[in-house]
Amino acid sequence: MRWTLACATMLAALITTSAGSSALAADAGEVNIYSYRQPYLIDPLLKEFSDETGIKTNVIFASKGLIERIQAEGRNSPADLVLTVDIGNLSQAVAAGITQPVKSEKIDASIPASYRGANDEWIGLTRRARVVYASKDRVAENSITYEELADPKWRGKICIRSGQHSYNVALVASMIAHLGPEKTEAWLRGVKANLARKPAGDDRLQVKGVYAGECDLAVGNTYYMGKMLTDEKHPEQKEWANSVKMLFPNTDGRGTHVNVSGAVLAKYAPNKDNAVKLIEFLASDTGQHMYAEVNHEYPTKEGVPWSKLVQSWGTFKADEISLNEIADLRKAASEMIDKVGFDDGPSS
């Protein structure tokens, strides 16, 4: 990717800060953030951080391309850290060579090793479980396993987004870790045969498919239930959400697959100390509580209470497998998804 001076100038104009500034000055009182996470979630956290520390936050929000941008900027990159979702994006940043280890006793004490990179090159800040949304009217079962999604009794009754979406790649990687490649491929072919339609849309649209009677089961992340139930701008989504019950697969066995959102410290961070302070804040009781309340995600720090809405979904056992192992298996998972032609749909 080539970045011209004109392009850099234009992008700099898009930068927002907690103080309303549009500069990326690299002095001791600032920290520069590239964020894939949405402003409505991040802004309250950054304001609280600035109020507590006096450190000004400068943020670029984007839906894609930030890792590539930091690569192109090289040693001249103003980025101090990247906030992103999914172990896939976190491991991609590490593989791209744009990160450095985060050395902090506070973070090590707050975030379990299973939610940190092998060398602390990424830090998990929130958790989300990959669950099954089941029709309240048409599904009698109140428990399920991922393996059961391949049972022929669900033929034509499952909705899911693209197999190549990072959330599903991580799920398939977890299946490879537990079952091995041969059994996982057979399972994936079984799930494909049970699809009601070609994979498409986001997790919310899979729940809509259950509401509309197009399928009986949908696979999605827990926090989408929170988004739908609290989305005042789209009240129809509350109807979708209220038509389903949430099943936490394998909670009576190895546990439900869990993914994370998190942060990486940029390799050439000009404000490294302030960036580490920000990650420490996001991993603190205050930061974790705000994450839980705003986005209805599960904190990665033990002992921080879930939001009341999340508590209403009940408890579950999380799969304890390290996300570092999941990251290592993502390539094999992606190749397997293509091999079985998952995104071609059930009739292919």
In this chain, the answer to whether the domains covering 5-126+259-304 and 127-257+315-344 adopt an identical fold is yes
Distance CA 160, CA 96 (A): 29
Q: Would you list the DSSP string of 23-40?
A: ----STTEEEEEESS-HH
Per-residue pLDDT tens digits for 100-149: 999 999 999 999 998 999 999 999 999 999 999 999 999 999 999 999 99
For the segment 57-67, what is each residue's pLDDT rounded down to a tens digit? 999 999 899 99
The candidate with the shortest Cα–Cα distance to 166, out of 65, 264, 88, is: 88
Q: Measured between alpha carbons, how far is 165 from 313 in angstroms, rounded to an integer? A: 25
CB atoms within 10 A of CB 140: 7
5-126+259-304 has which CATH code? 3.40.190.10
Angle at 199 between CA 196 and CA 203, to 5 degrees: 100
Contact 131, 167 (CB under 8 A): no
Q: Does domain 127-257+315-344 have CATH number 3.30.1330.60?
A: no
Q: Contact at 8 Å (CB) between 157 and 217?
A: yes
Q: In terms of residues, how long is the chain? A: 348
Q: For residue 348, what pLDDT is reported? A: 73
Q: CA 207 to CA 243: how far, in whole Å?
A: 8
Indicate the pLDDT class of residue 200, thresholds 50, 70 and 90: very high
Averaged pLDDT, 89-109? 97
* Structural domain boundaries in the chain: 5-126+259-304, 127-257+315-344
332 — pLDDT class (breaks 50, 70, 90): very high
Residue 107: predicted pLDDT: 98
